Amino acid sequence: MSDAETAGAFACEECLQPAEAFAVIGNETRLAILEALWEAPERPVSFSDLRRRVGTRDSAQFNYHLQKLTGQFVRKCEEGYDFRGAGRAVIQAVLSGSLNQDPEFGPVEVDGECVDCGGSLVAHYADETLRVECADCGRLHADGEFPPGGLEDRTKDEVMDAFNQRVRHLLCLVSDGVCPACNGRTEMTITRTGEFVDYDVHIEHECQRCGQTDPTSVTIALLDDAEVVSFYRDHGIDLNAAPFWTLEWCVSDDHTEVLSEDPWRFRVHIELDDERLVADLDEELTVVDATRESL
């Protein structure tokens, strides 16, 4: 099947236009129906049970609003009603807090020290973005989108742990060619003069569907590499739990050599105790060779 045929296979002449879709859910009763579905202990939910949960006495009026949702946001089956992906996404957007919250906090001190000056690190949150930087020189160590809902019912340490895991998982997605925003295809470009933090080499993943860009470092790809994870485990450290902004090789180019630009080849040095791991990466940022050396 050609690219044009593939695109045609996914075309949808009967799908709602975005403005129509937002108009459908822009109603208090319909949003209440979606919330009731979400809160139901089991799904599908019968018509009568769903109406009882919403609290609408007029059966005909309730059915009118439910039918407006059915097809695009809700699916009907023999047992009752359940979510479609779009309906679940609406509730998840509400729960994330992005639609109705705009909190701020910080700066608060967090684990790690500045890779440039050795100063303490602080985190602060605004505009749905969490940033980690040096309290003394301002050197940025990490930043990323973090929906406001992630702040609820969490201590500062729990927020930072959640941020660490969220960034890692999103980076895995873009590295695998999947846009975390729309699931479109991402393409990676490597340039010598980057503008992201203080890196000499700039890695950018751009979605070919929605245009979202995700800049990263060369070494961020090593966070879940088997050789690197094993190296840390052998030294008694769980790399998967370590805040990535505390890893000097991850937030600095000081441990990275550019071996070649055509094609791109990199060598990364990671030291722990009396041992060094030397990892060679290709243009896809895949480890093609890894050796250990005694210091």
Binned at pLDDT 50, 70 and 90, residue 4 comes out as very low
What SS3 string covers 47-66?
HHHHHHHHCCCCHHHHHHHH
Q: For residue 178, is it within any domain?
A: no
Which of the four pLDDT bands, split at 50, 70 and 90, describes residue 193?
A: low
Which of these three, 33, 62, 96, is where a domain ends?
Answer: 96
The whole-number pLDDT of residue 274 equals 95
CATH number, residue 52: 1.10.10.10
Question: Helices in the chain by DSSP H: which ranges?
Answer: 3-9, 18-25, 28-39, 47-54, 59-69, 85-96, 156-175, 226-234
Q: What is the pLDDT of residue 19?
A: 59
132 assigned to some structural domain: no
Assess if residue 146 is contained within a domain.
no
Q: How far apart are CA 43 and CA 186, in angstroms?
A: 34
Task: Tell me which of 67 and 215 has the higher pLDDT.
Answer: 67
Query: Tokens 């059966």, residue?
Result: 59
Residue finishing a domain among 96, 115, 142? 96
Considering 49, 75, 96, which residue would you say is the last residue of a domain? 96
Determine the structural domain holding residue 270 and report its residue range: 225-294
- Note whether residue 168 is domain-resident: no
- The domain tally of the chain equals 2
Whole-number pLDDT of residue 100 = 60
Residue 283 pLDDT > 50, yes or no? yes
Give Cβ neighbours of residue 78 (< 8 Å, ≥ 6 apart). Answer: none
Q: Tell me if residue 37 falls in helix, strand or coil.
A: helix
- Residue 20: burial class (beta carbons within 10 Å; 0-12, 13-18, 19+): exposed
Residue 261 belongs to a domain? yes
| DSSP annotation of 167 | H
pLDDT for res 11: 43
Residue type, 16: L
**pLDDT tens track for 63-107:** 999 999 998 889 999 999 998 888 888 887 777 665 566 788 889
Within a domain: 216: no
